[in-house]
């Protein structure tokens, strides 16, 4: 089995890391996501960014384009095939993305409003990230609100800062220093990304503006370098199935469906799946694996692309019978030829207590 695992470590079997965005309300999480998704019309479908179910996929080509301005010397190494960013920022999707106590979110962006510093939900996010031992970076967002900021759209942060007046530079330093202090009160060492020589010990601050796009190339660059540095190498290859239910939804013509994140492995049409239900385990067959139509065809309502097979990491909608009582946050398992269905049912149901506690709290 070990040999098989080694053989599987070919370039064709690389999987993409999963990224979540967390932070206090109104810090700009949604806007940041919109901004990184934004494609330059002239470039067409910027390197194939695709909208999935509950997530956006950034192939490495798109990330290369978007980091070009801070990669003039071509020093960034790109080993990952791409990055899957979860579309619903916040605690909910982060906490749902877990399996046996560990997080399936491989890296996170904690967004802080540079004008406000740490806020209650920032502290909560820090606790969650620490509990799950998830590596993260801090986006110090809304730098364009520093008084007198002169924007250079989509520029690297360091260059933009160097072109600001002394007063703006000072205000930036002051606010950053205050935020650093607030983080150190939480027991976290932080450092501005280009001064950070040890990403294992210091959390990187990356100043951004979701309005002007400044700092976003730096943020993407950091996500790539940090995942490659901190994600255990084995996590970068397709292996055992890991799949989590993010949402349960009724869709006209399809009945009750589940939106899942496949964080590792392969799912096929017809697979026998087992997941957690309110009235006991659910065992059913995958009728359809669906993703949205490409952006330009999105207006054709209710049209999905059908897939015979999907590979991690991606967000996909599953249509199947008997999903009415499925629970968000449940693990999904596939019954293999050697597996005993009842064993798997027991396994998924062992998560139930944790899931129900969560349902009651929310």
- The residue count of the chain comes to 362
Interface residue with ligand GDP, options 9, 116, 211, 311 (CB under 6 A): 211
Does position 27 interact with ligand GDP (CB under 6 A)? The reply is yes
Closest to ligand GDP by CB, 26 or 92: 26
CA distance 261 to 357: 22
- Nearest approach, Cβ of residue 97 and ligand GDP (Å): 18
Residues forming a β-bridge with 107: 19
Q: How far is the CB of 34 from ligand GDP (least distance, A)?
A: 8
CB closer to ligand GDP, 80 vs 139: 139
Identify the CA nearest to 51 among candidates 43, 62, 42: 62
Question: Among the candidate windows 20-28, 97-105, 116-124, 323-331, which touches ligand GDP by CB under 6 A?
Answer: 20-28
Asked if residue 144 binds ligand GDP (CB under 6 A), the reply is: yes
Q: Which pair of structure tokens corresponds to residue 300? A: 């054709």
127 binds ligand GDP (CB under 6 A): no
Task: Give whichever of 31 and 311 is closer to ligand GDP, judged by the CB atom.
Answer: 31
Among 141, 164, 190, 227, binds ligand GDP (CB under 6 A): 141
**What DSSP string runs through 253-296?**
TTEEEEEEEEEESEEETT-EEEE-BTTS-EEEE--EEEEEPPGG
Q: How far is the CB of 158 from ligand GDP (least distance, A)?
A: 17
Cα separation values, 65 from 47, 58, 68, 297, Å: 8, 11, 5, 24
| Closest residue to ligand GDP in the complex (CB) | 28
Neighbour tally for 43: CB within 10 Å: 10
Q: Which residues bind ligand GDP (CB under 6 A)?
A: 23, 25-31, 89, 141-142, 144-145, 209-211
């Amino acid at each position: 089995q070990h040999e098989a695992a080694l053989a599987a470590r070919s370039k064709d079997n690389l999987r993409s890391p999963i990224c979540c965005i967390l932070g206090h309300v109104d810090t700009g999480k949604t806007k940041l996501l919109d901004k990184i998704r934004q494609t330059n019309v002239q470039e067409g479908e910027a390197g194939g960014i695709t909208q999935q179910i509950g997530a956006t996929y950034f192939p490495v080509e798109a990330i290369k384009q978007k980091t070009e301005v801070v990669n003039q010397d071509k020093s960034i190494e790109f080993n990952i095939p791409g990055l899957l960013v979860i579309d619903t920022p916040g605690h909910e999707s982060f906490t749902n993305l877990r399996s046996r106590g560990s997080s399936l979110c491989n890296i996170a962006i904690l967004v802080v409003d540079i004008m406000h510093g740490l806020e209650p939900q920032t502290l909560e996010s820090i606790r969650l990230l620490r509990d799950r031992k998830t590596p993260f970076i801090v986006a110090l967002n809304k730098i364009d609100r520093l008084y007198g900021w002169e924007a250079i759209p989509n520029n690297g942060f360091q260059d933009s800062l160097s072109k600001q007046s002394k007063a703006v530079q000072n205000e930036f330093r002051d606010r950053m220093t205050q935020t650093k202090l607030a983080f150190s009160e939480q027991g976290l060492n932080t450092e501005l990304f280009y001064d950070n020589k040890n990403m294992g010990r210091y959390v990187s601050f990356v100043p951004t503006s979701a309005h002007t796009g400044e700092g976003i190339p730096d943020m993407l660059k950091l996500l790539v370098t940090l995942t490659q540095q901190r994600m255990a190498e084995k996590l970068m290859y397709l292996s055992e199935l890991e799949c989590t239910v993010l949402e349960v939804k009724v869709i006209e013509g399809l009945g009750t469906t589940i939106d899942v994140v496949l964080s590792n492995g392969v799912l096929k049409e017809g697979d026998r799946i087992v997941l957690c239900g309110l009235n006991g385990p659910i065992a059913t067959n995958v009728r359809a694996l669906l993703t949205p139509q490409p952006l330009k065809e999105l207006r054709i309502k209710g049209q999905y692309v059908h897939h015979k097979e999907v590979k991690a990491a991606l967000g996909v909608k599953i249509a199947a019978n008997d999903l009415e009582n499925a629970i968000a946050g449940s693990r999904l398992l596939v019954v293999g030829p050697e597996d005993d269905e009842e064993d798997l049912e027991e396994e998924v149901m062992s998560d139930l207590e944790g899931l129900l506690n969560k349902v009651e709290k929310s």
